[in-house]
Structure 1
């Protein structure tokens, strides 16, 4: 198989193995963002537990439980990446409080936009990681976050339908 560049043919492996440009994000930036994500774990846990406790239907509770469980998995993955790259473990802060949203739907909106903001942060983390192995782990987390945003949109749609049916 040959690769054509400037009307010259070269074996594909030559073109493929050329030096790739450095990432636009550094490993230090990625590690700092991972640390921030891990340190927010306890507050997130309290927030999800609150949403589960006030969800108006079992379907919504189950959706939020599945999201919370994914977030726990993400936290384990980020901890593993951080420890592998630094040799250090991150401990979560002890006492944490969170601000209850005014309403359940306000909480769902906050969660939706939190997921979308996480996608942007995790994209930067992915860009700064040194190997495909770690980037693939973060890609899994990124796609889960997009899935979560879609689920929150579904919950917002359920709420709209409840209002219309009244």
Structure 2
């Protein structure tokens, strides 16, 4: 015997709500969402800024390595510095692939020496977090999956670096 006759099951849904298909229509993107659109012309200066930032970080981290109080600190900062070198090269490759032009050496390759090792670690920590914000903009604007994947790798490295600097700060406080 069938307990569910056709008149009982009509209109029955196993879910307590109904799904209504969404009708997608092309809508203009609000200005506040413009950063989420691919924009080659806007990303090129950001790539140049990233190359310069990675170089400045490399120089600053060389200074921190020379002033590190322990071998453990030195090894951690060396690994971060080496990542920064690789990131710089990756950003240069992206720029060249997108424009056919190379980014030449910068006129300003300097940094402000921190008053103490610990203040240098703090500056490095917040520098890494600022880089995350810049690279997130680059990620949204850069065209192409390969470039997005490269930026994602760099971005996650920067988050990892911030965690390592946080460790060094806590360890040396």
TM-score for both structures, normalised by structure 1: 0.80
Deviations 1:117-163 (CA, angstroms, capped at 9, x unpaired): 00000000010111111001000000000000000000011113xxx
User: Where in structure 2 are there 5+ consecutive unaligned residues?
Assistant: 1-18
Q: What SS does the corresponding residue of 2:103 show, helix, strand or coil?
A: coil
Using the alignment, how far apart are the partners of 2:128 and 2:77 within structure 1? 13
Report runs of 4+ in structure 1 exceeding 6 Å deviation: none
Q: 1:114 aligns with which of 124, 127, 133?
A: 127
The equivalent residue for 1:76 is 89
Cα pair 1:119 1:146 within 8 Å, conserved: yes
TM-score for both structures, normalised by structure 2: 0.77
Q: 2:117 aligns with which of 93, 96, 104?
A: 104
User: Where in structure 1 are there 5+ consecutive unaligned residues?
Assistant: 9-14, 161-166
Matches within 5 A, 1:117-136: 117-136=130-149
Q: Which has the higher strand share?
A: 1
CA RMSD of aligned residues (A): 2.4
Q: Which has the larger radius of gyration?
A: 2
Deviations 1:69-106 (CA, angstroms, capped at 9, x unpaired): 00011011101100000000001225633210010011
